[in-house]
Structure 1
């Protein structure tokens, strides 16, 4: 897996996690591999930590 795939997967996973947690009324819809629809507020600190963690080999 290349770095772009790691970052993409980390972003989508964290956005879905925030959506499922009900944070800020966030809704995430993904259909196509390259496209995602995001409605609501995103916690950028948590998103950043998830991306950095994925690059460092974290969960």
Structure 2
């Protein structure tokens, strides 16, 4: 359960970042990650934002 919640939080945040900066970040396989367990990330990731999302997910945030 926790693993699935973390995975969803990470993928959603990476998709959000890619939507905000499509020229700087490309995500492939995000829609198929539940089946394949693989995700390709090309570009710059805002690690601080990603960490906050993960921490919020573990702490029970939205």
Q: Bin the TM-score by the shorter chain.
A: 0.7 to 0.9
More helix by share: 2
Deviations along 1:3-57, one digit per CA (max 9) or x if unpaired, are 1111111110000000001177001111342011100010110000001111212
Where structure 1 has 5 or more consecutive residues not aligned to the other structure, the ranges are none
* Structure 2 residues without counterparts, runs of 5 or longer: none
TM-score (norm 1): 0.85
Which residue of 35, 41, 44 maps to 2:38? 35
Q: When the two structures are aligned, how many residues end up with a matched partner?
A: 58
RMSD: 1.6
